[in-house]
Structure 1
């Protein structure tokens, strides 16, 4: 499953398990700040059961043979789980106390599963928080406690038609919001049907929009994550700027499925925002040498630089029957050289910063842009109800982009619905 499909499936995940947790802090088994029990050092043995999804589930079993060579008394048993079944399978396993030792956990699921009481807090004496990208580590924290370790990461940058930008006399690496609009309009005047494509609603649109909100200085919640702040002036400013691409006809309100890549290759689209998976897609669509005509650039800044960070974390369950070995396996997967080898195997971008200093990760200029963007990438709050709230953002954003809804009205609607849903904590 490619990276864009992973994001879509995660956004579609049902939230039944989160709803059963309720909104009362007193009923929440993870409401009080948790502390991690020590992990025994030295030799480990026994079986480690692991659940992994998509390509990771297909490849991790063989990859783990290097770990078992170092730990000959350990057997790693990996079960590949389809992404569209993973959420319910994990929720059911926690409820029935029939969990594996380790599982991949989508970043937007962390709040739900951590507050269920099913995840083991991350041992700080075993895992060094500072080794990871800040945004990636933040996705593991719920209520001030980490319940997982970042495994791989994804972020979004701009893909720009270099020739169109040069023909229009505009920068293919727009640094500010004003620059992005100028670059998009310029490429449109140079012959592109659309200067840029931005998601105008539907599932997952919040992932395209939220970087603009963060760039504009908006926050989703207050510092202690007790109140939502969607109706702030900064959030309204970002909605207004995002809307302008559609009201001024620079971005399409509808883009037929499957046309983005061929239209970009044909010069009908000047730019789009996406993740590292699109490097391979464009290489296949455009043919040999096409990527030489594409500029990858960090997303522009307003008050600050920001992008969306996604990916997956590795969590050990409280009900693990082999906790010490499970955490040692997670620690092994977090070593920089192992992360670099895993990238070579799967193209998963490492969550450990120093892994980017090796091999193609250090020398490929396209990957360097993603590495630069990763330092300012941000994650949504790890709360159990985030899937419901992100659906609200998708719905209201579509009204803003397609129907011309007043941005202040949309921000107020998001705020009111988010307050009604609550945090689940």
Structure 2
């Protein structure tokens, strides 16, 4: 399972220096070639936890056996485990020492930095039909690896820079005992139930329920929030707030301070303003996960990584959707057709990328396609209780022992990719968290507008100025 903590998934630890460091180090490291490599051998660096690593190694072994049988050649995939927090630093160091691997597993946000560093393959160069292959992936998964770049002619072109191997996002956990005590019906658990809900499970209803579940005399509050951008994106999405626009001349522009963005953050902040949210995002406060386990918070925003933890804690919980906003969209569903709903979520997860220093790009690509074959990916999901990235694997996944995971799968159908710009660590930690907290403290719409306006100024100055340099 992709592990979640109170930090935002995918935050680069070194902030603004990360991209420039990659550009410099790879220009040094790629100039003189790389260490000698055995034919038929590829090296892969990954950051899986112990349980995931064991399953992954089984898949590696089955690939080697399959390749020998189908191709009549012996191949080897050498796997090296890298701590997640050191992953990017390890990649940069490998460029200097010319020991770069062939494939790296990276967080979706880190992939974008590698793309801007011009060190990973656009997979269209290896397989011109890569878009066709990705057509059976969860829509947001395939969209997350399609990254636009501004070229010297001023035009923006989109490449495909990885193959998703894991996908995650957030939904609403709720305390079933508190709902029952307050006489509040449980919220919907499928998109069809959400579409047909009466009263609708929208933000108005969400706020009403949070108020009804708030009992300060019992140290009980309706909802707990996180002030990070990543955890706030589902609400921006549900209100139809765009983050980045690309002008006709190919320039990237932040538009988060639009009316939709202001409406979204005002709605979120209003939960704090009316006392339903006690300030769980403040330094020193009981964080949402801990407060949910301790029966302090009735609802929190979190992901599937907490399913096992919450079950073990003994809390009686359910999972439902991010409340609907005004941005109602037609969402494709299995079996054909669409369902029109206003919920949305964010995107976390990881991608496998092929470095340009490899001498065997086609063998690397063949391994990544094998990794995401329906039957192989289903084995992964069944063993680890994870959201299928490959939709053809979904019918092969057994959700009977983990019905709450199915809610997350439904929620992920509504997901919108995070902003496709580099320096996510700067965006999250240095820009958005301070301004989201500023908006919470403002206690009025005018303050929210000022906070988002300041965030847009900083994003344009600290990130988009470099993004708009042609590559």
TM value normalised by structure 2: 0.78
Note closer, same or farther for the CA distance 1:375–1:94 as it changes in structure 2 (3 Å cut). farther
Q: Match of 2:259?
A: 233
What is the DSSP-based 3-state SS (H/G/I as helix, E as strand, rest coil) of the residue aligned with 2:242? coil
Q: Residue 358 in 1 paired to residue 384 in 2?
A: no
Cα deviation for residue 402 of structure 1 reads 4.0
Task: Give yes or no for contact 1:177–1:302 (8 Å, CA) kept in 2.
Answer: yes
Q: Match of 1:135?
A: 140
Mapping 1:188-207, distance limit 5 Å: 188-189=214-215, 193-199=220-226, 201=227, 205-207=228-230
Q: 2:434 aligns with which of 381, 387, 395?
A: 395
Q: Residue 87 in 1 paired to residue 67 in 2?
A: no
Distance 1:6 1:194 in 2: 19
Task: Give yes or no for contact 2:2–2:168 (8 Å, CA) kept in 1.
Answer: no
Q: Residue 295 in 1 paired to residue 298 in 2?
A: no
Q: Match of 1:26?
A: none
Note closer, same or farther for the CA distance 1:257–1:98 as it changes in structure 2 (3 Å cut). farther
Cα deviation for residue 380 of structure 1 reads 1.5
Q: Match of 2:409?
A: 371
Q: Match of 2:117?
A: 116
Aligned-residue RMSD, C-alpha: 2.7
Mapping 1:331-346, distance limit 5 Å: 331-346=369-384
Write out per-residue CA displacement over residues 353-403 of structure 1, whole angstroms, 9 at most, x where no aligned residue: 222212324774212211111111122122223331222011111222245
Distance 1:361 1:131 in 2: 20
Q: 1:156 aligns with which of 151, 158, 170?
A: 170
Q: 1:47 aligns with which of 41, 52, 65?
A: 41
Cα deviation for residue 404 of structure 1 reads 4.1
Q: Match of 1:33?
A: none
Task: Give yes or no for contact 1:231–1:411 (8 Å, CA) kept in 2.
Answer: yes
Cα deviation for residue 118 of structure 1 reads 0.8
- Aligned pair count reads 397
What is the DSSP-based 3-state SS (H/G/I as helix, E as strand, rest coil) of the residue aligned with 1:253? coil
Note closer, same or farther for the CA distance 1:268–1:283 as it changes in structure 2 (3 Å cut). same
Question: Moved runs in structure 1, 4+ residues, more than 6 A?
Answer: none
What 5-or-longer segments of structure 1 have no aligned partner? 23-28, 30-43
What 5-or-longer segments of structure 2 have no aligned partner? 28-37, 69-73, 149-157, 188-199, 328-342
Task: Give yes or no for contact 2:12–2:110 (8 Å, CA) kept in 1.
Answer: no
Task: Give yes or no for contact 2:59–2:376 (8 Å, CA) kept in 1.
Answer: no
Note closer, same or farther for the CA distance 1:5–1:95 as it changes in structure 2 (3 Å cut). farther
TM value normalised by structure 1: 0.86
Q: Match of 1:68?
A: 64
Cα deviation for residue 315 of structure 1 reads 0.7
Q: Match of 1:4?
A: 4
Q: Residue 218 in 1 paired to residue 212 in 2?
A: no
